[in-house]
Amino acid sequence: MSPTRRLRVAMLSSNFGEYCIRLANAVSRHADVLLLIPDRLAARHAEKVDASVRLFPFRSPRLRQPFRQFQAIQKVFREIENFAPDVVHYQGFHPWFDLALPLWHRYPLVCTVHDFRPHPGDKLSQKTPFWVEMFVRRQADQLIVHSQHVQELMVQKSSRFRENISLMPHIQIGQECSSAIVQEDEHLILFFGRIWEYKGLQYLICAEPLISARVPDVRIMIAGQGEDFSRYARMMVHPERFIVHNEFISEERTAEFFRRASVVVLPYIEASQSGVIPLAYSAAKPVVATTVGGLPEMVEDGRTGYLVAPRDAANLADRLVRLLTDSTLRRQMGANAKQKIESECSPDVIARKTIEVYHRSVTRNAKRPRHQQIESAAVAATLPEERVSPVQQ
C-alpha cells in the first residue's frame, strides 16, 4: 500500500473478548481499527484496549428480542459507516449479525470461523442455527480458521471455500503476569474453561484414582462454568483431591491458576481448536490433550506436552503422572511451549498475517462484477502489485 494510506478495519464480535482486543491492538500497529464489541465485554477488558484502537461498546439484547436486536444492529452499522472502513472483520456466531452482515453488502467481509459446528452439549453456541452460520461464511470474501481440521471440514462442506480460506494460529493470550507472586504446586493439574459435554471432564475424573495411586498428594483444579456440575461431583471417588471453582473466572484469577498449576489437561472428546492451550503455553506449562480436532496441531507430542486417545482414562493418567513425577521434563516441555507460542502466535506475527488476509479480501471484492462491488476500490488500487500467497494448509 501507499505509505500515506493506512487500511481502515472495523472489527465486530459478540464474543471472544480477550482474543478480539489482543488482535485489535496488534492490527492497530499497521491499520486504523474500530473495535465493536458488547458493553459487557468492553467493561471487562476496556483497560487493555490500546489508545490507537477506537472502541465502540454496544448493548447486546436478548436473542428473543428482535426489535431491540434490530436497533442494536442499526447503531453498530451506523458507527461502521461513520468510520468508513475498507474491510469488516467479523468473529461470528450471533444469529442476527450472521443474517444482517451478508444482506448489508456494504464492505469487503472477513469472517473468522472459530468452530465449524457447535460442540456437543454447548447450549450457548447452539442458539445460532448452523445454516445461519453458513450463510455469513458463504458471503464472506475471506475466511480465517485456526486449525487444519476446521479448514478441511469447511472445504468438505463446499469446495468453493478452498479459494478464500486462510489457516492462522490462535493469537497468543494470557501473557500478562498476575500482580501477585504465585508459587507453582508441582502436583497440581488444571482443567480450565467452559464445562460442556465435549470437554470430556468425566474422563479426567475417572483417571484421578489411577493418578493418586502413584502421586498420593495430587490435586486437580477444575475452573469454569457451563452445564450442571452435580453429575461430575457424583463421579468423584476422592472429592477431597479436587479443587472446584464452578463459576466465572476473572483474568487475574486465570493468570494465578495457570501459574500455580504444573500441568494443564484437555481430555476433550471433540474439538476445533483451543484457547486454553495458548494460555498454558504463555504460562510455560506443558499440556496433556487428546487427539481430537485441531488439538494435535497445537500440541507437539513429547515436546510441548503429550497427546492421548480420547476417552482413555488410563492413558490420560499415565501421561499426567509422567509429567507430575519428572520436574526436569515438565519444565523443559513448559519452556518449549512458551517458545512455540511466542514464535508462532505472537500478536505481531498474527497481525501481519491478518493484514494479508484483509488485502486479499479487498482485492477479491474489487474483482466482482461492477453491480456487486462494495465501496472499496480506492483501497484495492493502493495495494502492491506483488500479492502475498494464502496461508498454506
The pairing of strands 263-266 and 242-245 is: unpaired
- Does 163 score more than 80 pLDDT? yes
Phi, psi angles (nearest 5°) of residue 108: -55, 140
Q: Which residues contact 212 (CB under 8 A, 6 or more apart)?
A: 218, 238, 241
Q: Is the pLDDT of residue 378 over 70?
A: no
Domains of the chain: 7-171+346-382 (3.40.50.2000), 188-344 (3.40.50.2000)
pLDDT at residue 208, rounded to an integer? 98
pLDDT score for 120: 64
Task: Scan for cell 444492529, then name that residue.
Answer: 73
- Across the range 320-340, mean pLDDT stands at 97
Distance CA 313, CA 385 (A): 54
- Residue 69 or 303, more confident: 303
Beta bridge partner(s), residue 301: 305
Edge-to-edge strands, sheet with 109-113: 53-58, 31-38, 7-12, 87-90, 109-113, 142-145, 165-167
Residues 214-233, mean pLDDT to the nearest whole number: 96
pLDDT in the model for residue 373: 47
Specify the pTM. 0.81
- Which of the residue ranges 57-71, 170-184, 240-254, 353-367 would you say has the lowest mean pLDDT? 170-184
Per-residue pLDDT at 314 exceeds 60: yes
pLDDT at 176 exceeding the cut of 70: no
Q: How far apart are CA 80 and CA 74, in angstroms?
A: 10
Sheet holding 242-245, edge to edge: 242-245, 219-223, 188-192, 263-266, 287-290, 305-308
Q: Is the pLDDT of residue 162 over 70?
A: yes
More confident residue, 208 or 252: 208
pLDDT > 50? residue 383: no
Does the structure show a pLDDT above 80 at 61? Answer: no
Q: What is the pLDDT of residues 264-294, one digit of tens each?
A: 999 999 988 888 999 999 999 999 999 999 9
The pLDDT, as a whole number, for residue 380 is: 37
Residue 330 — φ and ψ, nearest 5°? -60, -45
Predicted pLDDT at 391: 34
8 A C-beta contact, residue 313 and residue 211: no
Which neighbouring-strand residues pair with 219?
A: 188
